[in-house]
């Protein structure tokens, strides 16, 4: 029986630090997911010949990833050095992996969106001899974007979890699932807002799958954490946000499925789902930051797992030794 | 020591690694206590009781180092039969004069052999008169000869040993518990540690700083420790002694080549107008040719000094320009000078690297005093509070002063810091270390040498045509130092002058090698006899830097210690009367019978060829009269003085008095406080009533002041630096949890501390490091106050000054103020602003019924005028 | 699962003839006197800005608070009563009894042989009170979380085995801040306190170096390459901060803790000496006198990268799931 560890700290000061990520990062998480999900929708639309959906999704993808990238660059301490992200490729750094994913995705998204814009403007873009080149690249670009879309949505899981921030780190098994569900939710929401109901069936179906995935993975995530690690997700402002995120997700998805054939409810549901996704991202971000601030969230789970290991006879791996 | 001398503390850490035991006695638990083996908290100001009890413990249990005490101290010396002890006179010694608080010391003198004439009888000396304590140099008044009577069995009731025993008989562990608040267990631990660690094989050292000196009988605190160390045989022995922790801003150097009003270089006394109008009168007060030891050559030291200062103008026929020396007309200490300022008796003032607006006791008096000056020159790196008090000091806020009404013209002259000028620092162990200039000072900043040399040049230029005799001392000064291209005098040239050189003869111009080279006929010049040798052979000995790892533990080739590079004074005492080391483990200096010389790890502090069994005629006088077993070569009889017939103005043996402001009655005697202390009975220096006098409940708590590692003295060198200021940004007080609860103080909240002088505010640190003590049956709380903060607008951080709370009571021997034990009231919350602050202070004064007389009575025992002594004895 | 964290042997190959032995600190907090010379020396040498709001922080004599972008040495102060000391002694005894491997003879459970022998060292009766002091610093971990997650490659491992930021490459993304299990590295943002005087405008004003980038202890790399000692170790008066080859430092640490255990001070323990711990052992080894969290140190830190392979696996599965879900939606959606 492992005795309940007693908690002491250094004047209640934080043990670890959360990265200095603010609303811009929350915005990026949402926008990146939206972009990735939209890109997948556009692929499916292309395959099934749904031109409007394809066009809207591609434009959404580019718009979202463009805005998201701007937010990301702005958050840097030295924004003028944003290209340094591409100095190297480090597998140990989800941020590095993600930078490359983002860059590649954006390139592809840019090409496909340019094609859409050209089509929209009846080929009035000043492309000249490049037009054929552009259209020739459409296919590969689409493939590239499609390939990177899902990774774009899920790499942010390891990005947050591969830190010492207690709540994020504890969420490492489930967070990618939460994020891809949230991304799918946002993308279907955006589709419902932008696209006439004729073409939105897949989006409505996706809403349901996404909402279910979102709710279940969030629950599992919280359950599998140490209570001290789950607490920031359940209390305070982040807790409130995540509660509302769930409500909006369920409400929006229900609206999408049941009333999605009518324009107005479809738009409303779409907005709700996008809101849910945004709230999820902000909530998880802020919960992590809060979990770093109060040392209890770091110390209690660590002591518990150390004692559990020692009770199991694993005594060789403690950082504190008698000699 | 870790708190205030962290770099020096590395040696304590090293000693501890090798098994030394470290005991820390202090009212508060500091960073030293954190690494000491034991911390013993005591009530501030009660140290003589503790040390006296240790003396009593040693004598009662027979733990004194018998051979050492017999041979090397005056334990056996018989004292005059007129001597009376505080045990007889309810706290006073015989010879007290209640008119001026002085003692006629004739009854303290040694009984003389033969004709019963007391040794030290007034002849040429002036001790029959109430000689001012500042008139004598470090050796104190002389003995006219050293024909003493001794009882080697130490049984005679008039011998020093028995007097000592009797004097400290009531200083028991119970008295310690009652007066100091130290438990029996802690006392036993201390007593056993110290005695078990002393003797042939082991030695114990005491280290202290201003926790002992800054009391109205601070000098006697140290005397008590000296007696204890003599009894235990720890003086003049390696690993023993009493170490005064100096070193801040070369404080040791400031008494060696002094900035003290009553000393000339090398601890020669300043002459006094009316007493020492001729050179002969002056010399006669310092030394008698018939006493033993090296003070007998004071004439050579003095004349050499005069030759150094006035060169060719100092001739035999004008007594070597002795008349050019300024003479004292009383006590010119800093506090007396502030009084003169307040009486408009002073026109101008130079403040050199000092911040009295923050760092001197009774801060208000300091600032008000400066507001009466016509002009003030402040030399410092930053605009310290003593330069800006006129626009942002506390008196501006309270309305006591208005900037537009202050007539003082303040000149701020930027100063070079220690890396921008060459010079020497002298610290603990009398070690003189040279400092080289690393960079030139920026812009207008100047070193002291440059500033004063330049000032002197310009004044002399102005006076060049003067016919007034008064200007001759300035015009005849030797002032021709070589300067560099910036006008900075060469510091080594000054050092060479301090060292001294031959003025005439075959060695003309050559540096002196030792102070024994000095002559009184004008053929030598030397700025400070104790430093002679520092430039021997034209080598700057203070600049030597042979690493310690390449030398033995004495490290004689690192820098230079005065005198004559002796690292341990009185080291003759490290060998027994036959000249053999007391033990192999503690051998230091010993007699080499083959070579017929003293030899060892250090320069012997003794005539090098004086055999241990030499017994010259004591009437010979001077160093020649020192016997082979007289290790204390600066004492008139060559012995360590357990009983001091001269040298201390307030008693031949230390006795416990309560601080001038105290929470209890003196448990030992009817005489409450030091009857010889220097008092300043003034409206701006009111005292709280002591003990259980009416009104004492208004200021019921003890407060003590101290330092922190992060700051330096009055903050001029730390509060202006962001890296240091951020380490300890705010003024705070430290109180025990019990006290905090009683008063309602919140941890890290605010408190207002009020004394009869002023009131300040401070953040509150509630900590178990401050202990509340049970003293004489009462629960006494102590408030701890660091004193580094001052009110001003130029520093990175500012705060109220602890010195504003302190009043002035000075030790009569050395004029140091008591800053370590006083009384206060404490209230939660911040202090009132503006005139409301004055009202608060006045309110409490009124409640306590304070007048100028409160606490200022010299005597607190009834006096029998006809018999010239107190009536009866404390029952 | 094979660790993805940096293989530190590679640095030796990378540096070839410049490769040195791994350097480390051993901080013996039992002889720290809390003088903070290390904090000041570090700031002076590195020209770090003054930080904080110049107010009492409320943690005993510690007004610095924690390590961060502008403070690379931080002295902690903890005041403890007898109860707490007993507990620390007890938890230390437990550590010993757990049989955690150590070099040297095992110490006795209770107070050691009474030290009242020749040297007169006091036997450690439990004091009524103690004041712990400790100088914290970047751990320069064997497997460094900050280095692993740095996307630009600004953080690298030197030929001395230490971890350093190349301040001209870092773009201030802040990822490393979260990657450190000890909460050391931080991004240097604006908002530094300005002194009241005109110092900021004077010619002696100090420009704040490297704003917007991640900053932490460099292990005085610029001093090491000149064969000098890091500023903090150089200045520490009591040699509480010891510097040298890591092997030596760990050996000294083990000897010192054994010495203290022999004196009955079982509360003494090492932190970071174990090569099997969650970061592979640290380049700054500490001797502590209580649990790590008392000093603000994590009790069981683990470099996050150790679990990264698994995290990537989850991410791949999630991505696949997403693709499948989208695919399924088009199937379901196509029926209408």
A105 close contact with C: CB closer than 8 A: no
Instruction: Note the ipTM here.
Output: 0.94
Query: Which residues is C80 bridged to in the sheet?
Result: C130
Q: How many CA atoms lie within 13 A of B610 on its CB side?
A: 20
- Contact list in B for residue C63 (CB cut-off 8 A) is 726-729
A95 interface with C at CB cutoff 8 Å: yes
CA distance C247 to chain A (A): 14
* SS3 at position B545: strand
Residue found by looking up tokens 């036993």 in the block? B188
Which residue range forms the structural domain that includes residue A132? 23-311
Question: Does A13 fall in a domain?
Answer: no
B207-249 pLDDT per residue, tens: 999 899 999 999 999 999 999 999 999 999 999 999 999 857 7
Q: Which candidate in C144, C277, C288, C299 is best for mutational testing of the A interface (most A CBs within 10 A)?
A: C299
**Which residue of B380, B719, B723 is the best one to mutate when testing the C interface, meaning the one whose CB has the most C CBs within 10 A?**
B723
Mean pLDDT, residues B659-666: 94
- Asked if the model's pLDDT at residue B319 lies above 80, the reply is yes
Task: State the residue for tokens 């490049």.
Answer: A130
Does residue C121 share a domain with residue C131?
yes
Query: Distance (Å) from the C-alpha of residue C77 to the closest C-alpha of chain B?
Result: 10
Interface probe with C: pick from A93, A214, A294, most Cβ of C within 10 Å: A93
Instruction: Supply the pLDDT for residue B292.
Output: 67
Region of B757 please: left (phi>0), alpha (psi -120 to 50) or beta: alpha
Residues C29 and C141 both lie in one domain: yes
Short-list A182, A10, B846, B391, CA closest to C297: A10
pLDDT of residue C105: 42
Instruction: Answer whether residue A100 is part of any domain.
Output: yes
Q: Which residues of C touch B9 (CB under 8 A)?
A: 33, 237-238
Please, are residues B358 and B348 in contact by the beta-carbon 8 Å criterion? no
Q: Answer yes or no: is A279 within a domain.
A: yes
Residues of C in contact with A321 (CB under 8 A): 95, 100-102, 269-270, 273-274
Burial category of A103 from C-beta neighbours within 10 Å (exposed 0-12, middle 13-18, buried 19 and up): middle
Q: Which band of pLDDT confidence, cut at 50, 70 and 90, is reported for residue B623?
A: confident
**pLDDT recorded at residue B617:** 82
d(CA B445, CA B381): 8
Determine the pLDDT at residue C121: 38
Contact between B722 and C239 using a beta-carbon 8 Å cutoff: no
Placement of tokens 């990618």 in the chain: A176
Range of the domain at C266: 9-302
Q: Rounded to an integer, what distance in angstroms lies between the CA atom of residue A16 and that of residue B119?
A: 77
pLDDT at B501 over 90: yes
What are the distances in angstroms from CA B3 to CA B24, B705, B708, C289, C325? 12, 13, 6, 21, 68
Strand ranges inside C153-297, DSSP E: 155-157, 163-165, 186-187, 214-215, 241-245, 269-271, 284-288
Given pLDDT bands bounded at 50, 70 and 90, which one contains residue B637?
confident
Say whether pLDDT at C2 is over 70: no
Identify the residue with better confidence: C120 or B778.
B778
Q: What's the per-residue H, E or C state across A102-128?
A: HHHHHHHHHHHHHHHHHHHCCCCCCCC
Q: What is the predicted pLDDT for the residue at B652?
A: 96
C19 & C93 share domain: yes
Kindly state the tokens that stand for B51. Answer: 């040390």
Contact call for A and C: 3+ CB–CB distances under 8 Å: yes
Cα–Cα dist B765/B784, whole Å: 10
Contact call for residues B313 and B533 (beta carbons, < 8 A): no
Task: Please judge whether C36 and B709 are an interchain contact, meaning their C-beta atoms are less than 8 angstroms apart.
Answer: yes
B60-93 confidence digits (pLDDT tens): 999 999 999 999 999 999 999 999 999 999 999 9
Inter-chain Cβ pairs, chain B and chain C, closer than 8 A:
124
The mean per-residue pLDDT over the stretch B755-761 comes to: 97
| B638: Cβ contacts below 8 Å, ≥ 6 apart | B146, B292, B293, B625, B626, B627, B630, B631, B632
Return the CATH number at C61: 3.30.70.20
Q: Is residue C2 part of a domain?
A: no
Q: Among C11, C43, C241, which Cα is nearest to C147's?
A: C11
- Asked if residue C3 belongs to a domain, the reply is no
Same domain, yes or no: C129 and C155: yes
CA dihedral B541, B547, B553, B558 (to 10 degrees): 10
CB B562 within 8 A of CB B495: no
pLDDT at B436 over 60: yes
> Tokens for B104?
């006629």
Cβ atoms of A202 and C336 closer than 8 Å: no
B52 pLDDT exceeds 50? yes
Chains near B with 3+ CB pairs less than 8 A apart are C
pLDDT at site B660: 94
Q: Is residue A63 part of a domain?
A: yes
Residue C134 lies in a domain: yes
* Residues of A in Cβ contact (< 8 Å) with C66: 13-14
- Tokens 């590239």 correspond to A144
Are C265 and C318 in the same domain?
Answer: no
CA distance C68 to B656: 52
A193, two tokens = 């807002």
With an 8 Å Cβ cutoff, are A10 and C78 in contact? yes
Lowest mean pLDDT among A57-61, B108-112, C324-328: B108-112
Q: Are B10 and C35 inside 8 Å of each other by CB?
A: no
DSSP B126: -
Q: Dihedral of CA A112/A114/A116/A119: which sign?
A: negative
If pLDDT is split at 50, 70 and 90, which confidence band does C202 have?
low
**Chain B contact present for C37, CB below 8 A:** yes
Residue from B675, B639, B707 nearest B220 by CA: B675
Of C102, C103, C319, the CB nearest to A151: C319
C177 close to C186: Cβ distance less than 8 angstroms: yes
Contact C311 A162 (CB under 8 A): yes
Could you tell me which chains touch chain A, where touching means 3 or more CB pairs under 8 A?
C
pLDDT value, residue B124 = 31
Query: Using omega within 30 degrees of 0 as the cis cutoff, is the peptide bond preceding B474 cis?
Result: no
Can you tell me the mean pLDDT for B723-733? 96
Considering the domain architecture, whether residues C320 and C335 belong to the same structural domain is answered as yes
- Pairing between strand C23-28 and C284-288? parallel
State the DSSP string of B641-686: -SS-SSS-TT-SS------SS-SS--SS-S--S-TT-EE---GGG-
Q: Are B689 and B695 in contact (CB under 8 A)?
A: yes
Identify from C30, C60, C116, C131 which residue to disrupt to test chain B contact, counting B C-beta atoms within 10 A and taking the largest count.
Answer: C131
Q: Would you say B400 and B368 are in contact if contact means Cβ atoms under 8 Å apart?
A: yes
Contacts of B107 (CB under 8 A, 6+ apart): B80, B82, B83, B84, B93, B94, B95
Q: What is the pLDDT of residue C20?
A: 72
pLDDT at C118 over 70: no
Same domain, C175 and C81: yes
B361 contacts B819 by C-beta, under 8 angstroms: yes
Binding-face residues of C in 80-139 toward A, CB within 8 A: 92, 95-96, 98-104, 107
Judge whether A7 lies within some domain.
no
pLDDT at C125: 64
Q: Is C291 annotated as a binding residue?
A: no
Facing C237 at nearest CB: one of B6, B29, B765: B6
Question: Do residues B673 and B667 lie in contact, with contact meaning Cβ atoms separated by under 8 Å?
Answer: no
Name the residue among A222, A231, A218 with its Cα closest to residue A297: A231
C96 contacts: CB under 8 Å, gap ≥ 6: A322, C106, C107, C109, C261, C266
**Coil, strand or helix at C80:** strand
Q: How far apart are CA B101 and CA B217, in angstroms?
A: 14
Question: Alpha-carbon distance B842 to B696, whole Å?
Answer: 15
Pick the residue from chain A with its C-alpha nearest to C273. A319
> Do C190 and C328 share a domain, yes or no?
no
A50 lies in some domain? yes
Beta pairing class for C73-81 and C129-137: antiparallel
CA dist B666 and B678 (Å) reads 19
Count of domains forming chain C? 2
Q: Same domain for C119 and C28? A: yes
Query: Are B782 and B41 a contacting pair, CB within 8 Å?
Result: no
Is residue A42 within 8 angstroms of chain C, CB to CB?
Answer: no
SS3 C313: helix
Residue carrying structure tokens 């030597």? B544
Phi-psi group of B740: left, alpha or beta (phi > 0 → left; psi -120 to 50 → alpha; rest → beta): alpha
Q: Is the pLDDT of residue B126 over 50?
A: no
The answer to whether residues C39 and C22 belong to one domain is yes
Q: How many structural domains is chain A composed of?
A: 1
The pLDDT value given to residue B458: 96
- Chain C interface includes A21 (CB < 8 A): yes
Does residue A79 fall inside a structural domain? yes
To the question of whether residue C236 is assigned a binding role by annotation, the answer is yes
Task: Kindly give the parts of chain A with pLDDT less than 50.
Answer: 1-2
Cβ under 8 Å to A: C residues 204-233: 211-214
Please tell me whether residues C232 and C266 are part of one structural domain: yes
Q: Which of residues 7-36 of C touch A (CB under 8 A)?
A: none
List chain C residues with CB under 8 Å of B34. 33-34, 130-133
Q: Please say if the pLDDT value at position B6 is more than 50.
A: yes
Q: pLDDT exceeding 90 applies to what percent of chain C?
A: 72
Chain C contact set for A11 (CB, 8 A): 58-59
A169 inside domain = yes
- Kindly report the length of chain A: 323
Give me the residue from B29, B725, B769 closest to C54, CB to CB: B725
User: Residue B290's pLDDT band (boundaries 50, 70, 90)?
Assistant: low
**Inter-chain residue contact B730 with C55, CB threshold 8 Å:** yes
What's the pLDDT score for residue B288?
67
Domains, chain B, in order of start with CATH, read 1-34 (no CATH), 41-235 (3.40.228), 678-848 (2.40.40.20)
**Residue-level pLDDT at B761:** 98
Same domain for C169 and C102: yes
Say if residue C320's pLDDT is above 60. Answer: yes
User: At residue C201, does pLDDT exceed 60?
Assistant: no
Summary mean pLDDT of chain B: 92
C152 labeled part of a ligand binding site: no
B764's tokens: 């509150």
- CATH number reported for the structural domain that contains residue A302 in this entry: 1.20.1630.10
Angle between helices A23-48 and A263-293 (to 10 degrees): 140
């Amino acid at each position: 029986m492992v005795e309940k560890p007693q908690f002491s700290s250094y004047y209640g000061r934080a043990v670890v630090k959360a990265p200095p990520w603010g609303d811009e990062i929350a915005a990026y998480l949402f926008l990146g997911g939206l972009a990735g999900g939209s890109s997948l929708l556009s692929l499916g639309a292309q395959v099934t010949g749904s031109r409007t959906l394809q066009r809207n999704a591609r434009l959404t993808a580019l718009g979202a990833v463009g805005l998201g990238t701007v937010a990301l660059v702005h958050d840097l301490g030295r924004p003028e050095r944003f290209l340094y992200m591409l100095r190297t490729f480090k597998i140990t750094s989800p941020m590095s992996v993600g930078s490359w994913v983002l860059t590649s995705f954006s390139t592809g998204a840019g090409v496909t969106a340019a094609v859409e814009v050209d089509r929209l403007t009846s080929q009035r873009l000043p492309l000249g001899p490049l037009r054929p080149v552009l259209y020739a690249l459409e296919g590969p670009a689409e493939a590239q974007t499609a390939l990177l879309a899902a990774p774009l949505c899920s790499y942010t899981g390891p990005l947050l979890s591969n830190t010492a921030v207690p709540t994020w780190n504890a969420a490492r098994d489930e967070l990618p699932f939460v994020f891809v569900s949230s991304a799918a939710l946002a993308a279907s929401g955006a589709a419902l807002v932008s696209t006439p109901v004729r073409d939105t069936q897949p989006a409505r179906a996706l809403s349901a799958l996404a909402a279910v995935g979102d709710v279940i993975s969030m629950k599992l995530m919280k359950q599998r954490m140490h209570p001290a690690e789950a607490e920031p997700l359940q209390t305070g402002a982040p807790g409130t946000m995540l509660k509302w995120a769930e409500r909006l997700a369920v409400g929006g998805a229900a609206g999408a499925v049941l009333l999605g054939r009518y324009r107005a409810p479809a738009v409303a549901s779409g907005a709700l789902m996008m809101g849910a996704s945004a709230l999820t991202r902000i909530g998880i971000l802020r919960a992590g930051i809060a979990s770093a601030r109060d040392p209890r969230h770091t110390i209690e789970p660590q002591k518990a797992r150390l004692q559990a290991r020692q009770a199991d006879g694993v005594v060789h791996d403690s950082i504190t030794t008698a000699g | 020591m870790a708190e205030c001398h962290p770099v020096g503390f590395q040696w304590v850490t090293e000693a501890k690694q090798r098994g030394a035991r470290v005991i820390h006695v202090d009212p508060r638990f500091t960073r030293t206590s954190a690494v000491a083996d034991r911390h013993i908290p005591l009530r501030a100001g009660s140290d003589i009781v503790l040390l006296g009890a240790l003396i009593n413990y040693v004598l009662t249990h027979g733990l004194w180092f018998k051979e050492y005490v017999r041979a090397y101290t005056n334990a056996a010396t018989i004292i005059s039969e007129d001597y009376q002890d505080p045990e007889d006179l309810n706290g006073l010694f015989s010879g007290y004069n209640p008119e001026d608080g002085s003692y006629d010391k004739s009854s303290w003198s040694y009984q003389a052999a033969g004709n019963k004439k007391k040794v030290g009888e007034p002849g040429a000396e002036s001790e029959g008169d109430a000689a001012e304590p500042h008139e004598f140099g470090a050796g104190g008044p002389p003995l006219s000869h050293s024909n003493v009577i001794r009882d080697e069995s130490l049984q005679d009731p008039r011998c020093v040993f028995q007097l000592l025993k009797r004097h400290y008989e009531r200083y028991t562990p119970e008295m310690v518990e009652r007066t100091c608040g130290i438990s029996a267990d802690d006392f036993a631990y201390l007593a056993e540690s110290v005695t078990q660690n002393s003797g042939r094989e082991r030695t114990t050292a005491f280290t202290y700083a201003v926790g002992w000196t800054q009391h109205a009988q601070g000098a006697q605190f140290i005397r008590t420790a000296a007696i204890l160390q003599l009894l235990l045989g720890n003086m003049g022995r390696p690993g023993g002694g009493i170490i005064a922790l100096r070193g801040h801003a070369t404080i040791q150097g400031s008494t060696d080549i002094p900035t003290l009003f009553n000393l000339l270089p090398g601890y020669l006394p300043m002459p006094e107008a009316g007493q020492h109008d001729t050179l002969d009168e002056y010399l006669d007060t310092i030394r008698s040719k018939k006493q033993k030891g090296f003070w007998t050559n004071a004439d050579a030291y003095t004349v050499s000094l005069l030759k150094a200062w006035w060169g060719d103008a100092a001739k035999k026929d004008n007594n070597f320009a002795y008349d050019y020396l300024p003479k004292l007309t009383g006590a010119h200490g800093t506090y007396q000078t502030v009084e003169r300022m307040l009486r408009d008796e002073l026109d101008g003032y130079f403040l050199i690297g000092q911040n009295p607006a923050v760092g001197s006791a009774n801060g208000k008096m300091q600032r008000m005093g400066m507001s009466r000056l016509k002009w003030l020159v402040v030399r410092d790196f930053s605009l310290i509070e003593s330069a800006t008090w006129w626009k942002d000091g506390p008196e501006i806020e309270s309305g006591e002063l208005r900037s537009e009404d202050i007539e003082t013209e303040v000149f701020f002259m930027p100063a070079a810091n220690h890396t921008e000028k060459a010079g020497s620092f002298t610290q603990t162990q009398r070690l003189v270390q040279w400092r080289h200039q690393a960079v030139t000072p920026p812009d207008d900043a100047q070193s002291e040498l440059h500033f004063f040399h330049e000032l002197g040049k310009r004044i002399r230029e102005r006076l060049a045509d003067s016919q007034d005799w008064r200007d001759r001392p300035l015009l005849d000064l030797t002032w021709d130092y070589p300067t560099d291209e910036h006008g900075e005098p060469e510091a080594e040239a000054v050092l060479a002058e301090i060292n001294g050189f031959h003025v005439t003869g075959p060695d003309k111009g050559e540096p002196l090698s030792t102070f024994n080279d000095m002559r009184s006929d004008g053929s030598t010049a030397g700025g400070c006899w104790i430093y002679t040798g520092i430039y021997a052979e034209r080598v700057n000995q203070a600049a030597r830097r042979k690493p310690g790892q390449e030398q033995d533990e004495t490290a004689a080739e690192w820098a230079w210690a005065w005198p004559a590079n002796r690292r341990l004074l009185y080291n003759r005492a490290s060998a027994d009367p036959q000249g053999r080391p007391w033990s192999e483990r503690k051998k230091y200096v010993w007699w080499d019978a083959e070579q017929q010389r003293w030899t060892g790890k250090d320069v012997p502090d003794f005539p090098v060829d004086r055999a241990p069994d030499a017994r010259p005629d004591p009437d010979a006088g001077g160093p020649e009269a020192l016997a082979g077993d007289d290790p204390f070569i600066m004492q008139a009889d060559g012995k360590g003085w357990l009983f001091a017939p001269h040298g201390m103005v307030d008693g031949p043996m230390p006795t416990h008095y309560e601080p001038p402001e105290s929470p209890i009655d003196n448990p030992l005697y009817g005489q409450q406080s030091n009857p010889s202390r220097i008092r300043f009975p003034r409206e701006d220096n009111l005292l709280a009533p002591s003990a259980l006098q009416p009104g004492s409940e208004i200021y019921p708590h003890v407060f003590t002041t101290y330092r922190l590692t992060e700051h330096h003295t009055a903050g001029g060198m730390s509060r202006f630096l962001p890296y240091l200021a951020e380490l300890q940004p705010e003024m705070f007080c430290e109180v025990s949890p019990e006290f905090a609860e009683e008063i309602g103080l919140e941890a890290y909240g605010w408190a207002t501390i009020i004394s009869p002088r002023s009131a300040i505010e401070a953040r509150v640190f509630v900590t178990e490091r401050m202990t509340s003590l049970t003293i004489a049956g009462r629960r006494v709380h102590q408030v701890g106050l660091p004193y580094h903060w001052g009110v001003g607008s130029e520093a990175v951080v500012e705060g109220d000054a602890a010195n504003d709370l302190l009043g002035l009571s000075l030790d009569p021997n050395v004029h140091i103020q008591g800053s370590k034990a006083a009384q206060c009231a404490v209230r939660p919350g911040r202090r009132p602003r503006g005139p409301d602050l004055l009202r608060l202070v006045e309110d409490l004064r009124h409640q306590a019924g304070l007048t100028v007389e409160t606490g200022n009575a010299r005597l607190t025992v009834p006096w029998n005028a006809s018999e010239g002594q107190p009536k009866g004895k404390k029952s | 699962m094979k660790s993805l964290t940096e293989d530190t042997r590679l640095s030796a190959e990378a540096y070839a003839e410049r490769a040195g032995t791994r350097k480390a600190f051993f901080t013996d907090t039992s002889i720290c006197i809390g003088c903070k010379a290390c904090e000041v020396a570090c700031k002076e040498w590195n020209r770090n800005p003054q930080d904080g709001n110049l107010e009492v922080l409320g943690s005993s004599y510690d007004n610095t608070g924690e390590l961060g972008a502008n403070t690379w040495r931080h002295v902690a102060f903890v005041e403890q009563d007898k109860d707490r000391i007993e507990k620390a002694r007890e938890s230390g005894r437990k550590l010993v009894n757990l049989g955690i491997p150590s070099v040297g003879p095992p110490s006795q459970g209770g107070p050691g042989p009474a030290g009242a022998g020749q040297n007169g060292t006091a036997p450690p009766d439990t004091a009524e009170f103690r004041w712990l002091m400790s100088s914290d610093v970047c751990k320069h971990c064997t497997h460094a979380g900050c280095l692993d997650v740095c996307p630009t490659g600004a953080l690298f491992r030197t030929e001395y085995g230490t971890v350093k930021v190349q301040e001209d490459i870092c773009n201030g993304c802040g990822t490393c801040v979260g990657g450190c299990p000890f909460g050391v590295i931080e991004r240097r943002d604006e908002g530094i306190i300005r002194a009241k005087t005109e110092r900021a405008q004077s010619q002696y004003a100090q420009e704040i170096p490297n704003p917007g980038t991640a900053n932490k202890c460099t292990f005085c790399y610029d001093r090491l390459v000149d064969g000098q000692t890091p500023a903090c170790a150089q200045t520490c008066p009591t040699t509480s901060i010891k510097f040298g080859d890591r092997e030596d430092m760990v050996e000294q640490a083990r000897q010192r803790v054994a010495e203290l255990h022999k004196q009955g001070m079982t509360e003494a323990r090492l932190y970071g000496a174990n090569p099997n711990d969650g970061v592979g052992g640290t380049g700054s080894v500490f001797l502590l006198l209580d649990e790590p969290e008392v000093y603000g140190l994590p009790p069981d830190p683990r470099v996050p990268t150790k679990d990264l392979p698994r995290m990537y696996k989850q991410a791949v599965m999630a991505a696949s799931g997403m693709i499948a879900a989208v695919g399924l939606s088009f199937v379901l959606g196509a029926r209408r």
